[in-house]
Chain A
Amino acid sequence: MGAASKRDKKNSSTSTSPCAHLRSAYHNCFNQWYSEKFVKGQWDKEECVSEWQKYRDCLSEHLDDKHLSRFLEAEAAFGSVFQEGKENPVENSSK
């Protein structure tokens, strides 16, 4: 039994997620906005909107199996940190 092969399976440096590129683009934009604006007191404007839009559209399209609906149900069940009027990334969770 090779422990090495187990490690290879776990440590894929490239993600298998189809939305990985859009996710990176959004996260990079977010990280920059967070450090350079948000924590410095500039929270008056929503930023990285188009990156977020593209990323979440991809998630809606691809993460439609057991996972996304489960995550969203769980979020609702936990009494989400979001107040009323929260945006839902998926209008209809496709089954």
Chain B
Amino acid sequence: MAGGSFTFVMVKAYAQEHIYKHPWERVTSASWRKFADPENKRTLSHILEVDTLNRKLDTLSGKLYTTRALTIHAPGPWFVRKVIGQDICHCVESTVVDAQSKSMQLTTRNVSLQKFIEVEEKIRYDPHPDNPTGWTICRQETSIRIKPLSALASMAEKVEQRCAERFMQNSVKGREVMERICKYLEAESSGMAL
């Protein structure tokens, strides 16, 4: 960012919002279950492995910190494959859940392929201001940065476009899965309340 030199930063950022008509407790519970449920694994088949690397509970503040490792199948078009040479991407997801203030924030970043690309996805779940006990608002921001001077830089636009399309598709699938789990948890809890 030095004055006098032209720094071309290739970043694309996308933001999405979604309202779940379920309480925050149920929606965040669903988020934890998203990748593990066998039926949902077929929908989210791009997620190959999810492992918890670390976790910490602050028993005074009611904050839960978790780090997870995600292995994702991310096939690119042939011209990307030629450059990158692999279809698998490893990511780290860091999560903070504040049970007192009822907020959950996840940040996922790639740890492999960093020579070429930096992807960061942030998701927040908060009670919806219009209906804090009944609804949850999910805000998602994704940024894609192709590393300048990397072998991908010359096809940055194409790669970004493909990434963006893929993320949109995965977001839709993710929401489908979340809604399904929320309905299941809702049925489960009303069954128990007999």
Contact = CB atoms under 8 A, between A and B. Distances in A.
Given A30-B52, A35-B25, A46-B59, 16 more contacts: A10-B45, A11-B41, A11-B42, A15-B49, A26-B52, A27-B32, A39-B25, A44-B59, A59-B51, A63-B51, A67-B69, A74-B111, A75-B67, A78-B94, A81-B96, A82-B65
Contacts of A80: 54, 67, 94
A67 B90 contact: yes
B53 A43 contact: no
Contact of B92 (A31, A38, A39, A71): A71
Interface in B49-94: 49, 51-59, 62, 64-65, 67, 69, 73, 90, 92, 94
B191 to A, nearest CB: 14
Contact of B59 (A7, A43, A73): A43
Nearest to B87: A10
Contacts of B4: none
Contacts of B69: 67-68, 71
Interface residue tally of chain B, by bracket? 35 or more
A52 B94 contact: no
A89 B53 contact: yes
Interface of A: 7, 10-11, 13, 15, 17, 19, 23-24, 26-27, 30-31, 34-35, 38-41, 43-46, 52, 55-56, 59, 63, 67-68, 70-75, 78, 80-82, 86-89
B51 A87 contact: no
Nearest to A32: B29
A43 B57 contact: yes
Given A10-B73, A13-B38, A70-B90, A75 B54 contact: yes
Contacts of B64: 34, 38, 43
A68 B96 CA distance: 21
A9 B55 CA distance: 31
Nearest to A40: B25
A44 B62 CA distance: 8
B53 A71 contact: yes
